[in-house]
Structure 1
Amino acid sequence: MSLYIGMMSGTSLDGVDGVLVDFWAGAARTMSAAYVEFPQALRDELMALQAASPNEIEREALAANKLAELYADCIAELLAKADMKSADVRAAGAHGQTIRHRPELGFTRQIINASLLAELSGIDVIADFRSRDVAAGGQGAPLVPAGHKALFGKEGKTRVLANIGGIANISVLHKDGAVGGYDTGPGNVLMNAWISRHKGVEFDDNGAWAASGKEVPGLLAALLSEPYFALPAPKSTGRDLFHAAWLDAHLARFPDAKPEDVMFTLMRLTAVSLAREIAPHGSDALYVCGGGAYNATLMRELQMELGESTKVESTEALGVPPNRVEAMVFAWLAFRFGERMPGNLPSVTGARGERILGALYPR
């Protein structure tokens, strides 16, 4: 066996998804999966660290320590479920938590104390996957299209995958082997912020609240006027752009909008901005992963935007549950590092060339 662990905590700030994957003989077989939820205090702190704030260096370090502990808990659960020991695993790929993403300034920052994680888990840790691509002039994101190609590419068939986490991105796996992909804009990030403000919950379960509203006239067009949507690829984005203050600035022109109608319009923003980028590729299916795959209202809206010629379904149809896909990609990136093979796609990120991604923290 050739066992690697992949762990991902994304823009939604909900917790750590982990998988234990066997990459023996070029295949990718999931041995176990686990999820460790973030405590509310850590969610609040990670949200606060998205912007400049007092004593942020010390607070970031303490948050990175807590993240390492939670990632270690995830590893322990993965090993227990698979009846494996730490010595059986070649390395763990740990994405960490993005608190800043500014490739236009030459940096991206995903925090986790990888040394502490190696100490706690007894496993080699590969972390900081994005920085090398940024150093090579790339966006450092999205990294998932390379993994999507390895895991889901099919010769002679064009496939489009949409990862709808806090931010949404697409991977276009062309039938000739070429790959494209980029961040399309908000996924769940604005919807989660809005329902948290008005309902005090972390997300809109199955899109039920959004389904109770209707589109606010003029608001969707105003949101889609954001220049990011018109930028050519390669491009990437995050909370540095799409945050509550960005939304509030637009809502100032719509003071009478009902909260549930704003929620429906935000759901439409995600669906429309995704569909506009997917439709030109002419794929007969769209495979959705990430938390958005569990939002029935959003999935229906995507189907409506794309029409009957493109079937919208989750990656479950390809044999992988939607909440495992990103973690599997980071297991694959750790595997690529272990083999000293490139993990980026310059056609996606805009980097000057292929690069081995990540930094090693030995056990």
Structure 2
Amino acid sequence: MPALPAGPAGSPLDGLFVGLISGTSADGIDAALVRFSQDQTHLVLGRTYAWDAGIRERLVALGQGGEAQSLDEIGTLDVQIAEAFAGATQRLLEEAGVAPAQVRAVGSHGQTVRHRPEGARFNGQHPFTWQLGDGNLIAERTGIATVADFRRRDVAAGGHGAPLLPALHAALLHDAKEDRAVLNLGGIANFTLLPAHGAVRGFDTGPANCLLDAWCQRHTGKPYDAGGAFAAQGQPDAELLARLLDDPWFMLPPPKSTGREHFHLDWLQTRLAGVEAAADVQATLLDLSAITIADALQAHQPGTERVLACGGGVHNPRLLAAIGRHMPGTTVESTARHGVDPDFIEAMGFAWLARQTISGLPGNLPSVSGARGPRVLGAIHPV
């Protein structure tokens, strides 16, 4: 795997770190055990651990804009998420044959339940982002120092708190010979723009899998559209697609970020005529993801030679093919072709962010998030 910048041997930059994330889709807890050293970044082990079905159902509902029933519910979820993250860490280390004392720190993203960097009422006032999963409890259960709550410092500094991984993408995947972009196909799609020469930029483009997964779940009972098979049964509806593309969010300039609280089934439902076949809607949602991704790249880095895809959507060949069709002249391929596991690059990113934090180094890129400057992110919960 490509190298990352490192400090002197034996510094806090060296050693084993664990990164944990449950993304927009809440389809599992991704856990990565990563070894950083002076000359390499090595994914020792990556695993995805399933959520308890009842907890996942509640997380998805909250993430899609649902309201919490009480403060007690939020407090309980905060603990339940932390317990699940701690359990994922323990299982990962057991599988790897690594003792907790060998790990310098855990970096936990937690579970986003609301992301409002533009303000709760979309008026620029009182912006916030909120990830649950108490870092105190993770540290207590694992016996490992835990860094959590990475996004809020960037928001406090005027940024979006997202995307947070472009610095890692740049370190691992930049090439001085060609203009590249890293495309993360999670619930939400986001780009890291890596010009051969020039500043790194990044931003969300809109839905990748969140609407596809939710619609598939509703109509087939399956949590995601494996291989794009459901979408393949339908035909895109041009009129519906036009209504979906008409959302003003797509026209916003970077820095920009979003989540399920904006792009959810109720958002889709208000744009349906009510006569569409379910498979046609799925095919249209796939085109929505592909077109908004391609349009964003054309608007902000035309002439990109190579797009390196990661995240769950990399396993949907129909989605990748659609993206490629809308990017003529651009190679679209998995980060795996460049030595980076597409399923665990985000979890690796939170291991890297923990490494940055305990070393007193910034984790954000102001050119990406819009923050007023570089900031050390997250709160450290010592053993």
What interval of TM-score do these two structures reach, taking the shorter chain for normalisation? over 0.9
C-alpha contact 1:49 1:56 (8 A) present in aligned 2: no
- 2:302 & 2:199 partners in 1: Cα distance? 12
Structure 2: give runs of 5+ residues left out of the alignment: 1-13, 120-126
Which of 219, 242, 259 is the aligned partner of 2:278? 259
Which of 85, 88, 108 is the aligned partner of 2:99? 85
Which of 220, 236, 250 is the aligned partner of 1:199? 220
Aligned partner of residue 55 in structure 1, secondary structure: coil
Shift of 1:47: 2.1
Which of 298, 305, 315 is the aligned partner of 2:319? 298
Counterpart of 1:58 in structure 2 is: 72
Shift of 1:177: 4.7
Counterpart of 1:247 in structure 2 is: 268
Which of 264, 267, 289 is the aligned partner of 1:270? 289
The percent of aligned pairs where both chains have the same amino acid is 44
C-alpha contact 2:17 2:34 (8 A) present in aligned 1: yes
Counterpart of 2:110 in structure 1 is: 96
C-alpha contact 2:189 2:205 (8 A) present in aligned 1: yes
Sort the Cα spacing of 1:345 and 1:214 in 2 relative to 1 into closer, same or farther, 3 A. Answer: same
C-alpha contact 1:213 1:263 (8 A) present in aligned 2: yes
Matched, 1:344 2:364: yes
Aligned partner of residue 237 in structure 2, secondary structure: coil
CA offsets per residue over residues 114-156 of structure 1, 9 Å max, x none?
Answer: 1111111110110010000000000111112122112222334
Which residue identity does 1:9 align to in structure 2?
S
Shift of 1:355: 0.3
Sort the Cα spacing of 1:240 and 1:54 in 2 relative to 1 into closer, same or farther, 3 A. Answer: closer
Which residue identity does 2:42 align to in structure 1?
R
Counterpart of 1:329 in structure 2 is: 349
Which of 60, 63, 67 is the aligned partner of 2:81? 67
Counterpart of 1:111 in structure 2 is: 132
- 2:377 & 2:342 partners in 1: Cα distance? 24
Aligned partner of residue 343 in structure 2, secondary structure: helix
C-alpha contact 1:93 1:125 (8 A) present in aligned 2: yes
Which of 123, 138, 159 is the aligned partner of 2:144? 123
Matched, 1:187 2:208: yes
Equivalent residues, number:
360
Matched, 1:362 2:382: yes
Structure 1: give runs of 5+ residues left out of the alignment: none
- 1:288 & 1:232 partners in 2: Cα distance? 22
Shift of 1:77: 2.4
- 1:136 & 1:54 partners in 2: Cα distance? 27
C-alpha contact 2:25 2:60 (8 A) present in aligned 1: no
Counterpart of 2:3 in structure 1 is: none
Aligned partner of residue 163 in structure 1, secondary structure: strand
C-alpha contact 2:20 2:107 (8 A) present in aligned 1: yes
- 2:70 & 2:342 partners in 1: Cα distance? 34
- 1:54 & 1:46 partners in 2: Cα distance? 10
- 1:259 & 1:175 partners in 2: Cα distance? 43
Shift of 1:343: 0.5
C-alpha contact 2:208 2:313 (8 A) present in aligned 1: yes
- State the superposition RMSD in angstroms: 1.3
Which of 44, 63, 73 is the aligned partner of 2:57? 44
TM-score (norm. length: structure 1) = 0.96
C-alpha contact 2:336 2:342 (8 A) present in aligned 1: yes
Matched, 1:134 2:155: yes
C-alpha contact 2:358 2:380 (8 A) present in aligned 1: no
Shift of 1:225: 0.8
TM-score (norm. length: structure 2) = 0.91
Counterpart of 2:335 in structure 1 is: 315
Shift of 1:54: 5.2
- Higher relative helix content: 1
C-alpha contact 1:101 1:240 (8 A) present in aligned 2: yes
Counterpart of 2:11 in structure 1 is: none
Which runs of structure 1 show a deviation greater than 6 angstroms over 4 or more consecutive aligned residues?
Answer: none
CA offsets per residue over residues 247-274 of structure 1, 9 Å max, x none?
Answer: 00101xx222110000000000000000
CA offsets per residue over residues 301-353 of structure 1, 9 Å max, x none?
Answer: 1111112x211111111112211110111111111111111010101110000
Aligned partner of residue 309 in structure 2, secondary structure: strand
Shift of 1:283: 2.1
- 1:273 & 1:162 partners in 2: Cα distance? 12
- 2:296 & 2:62 partners in 1: Cα distance? 31
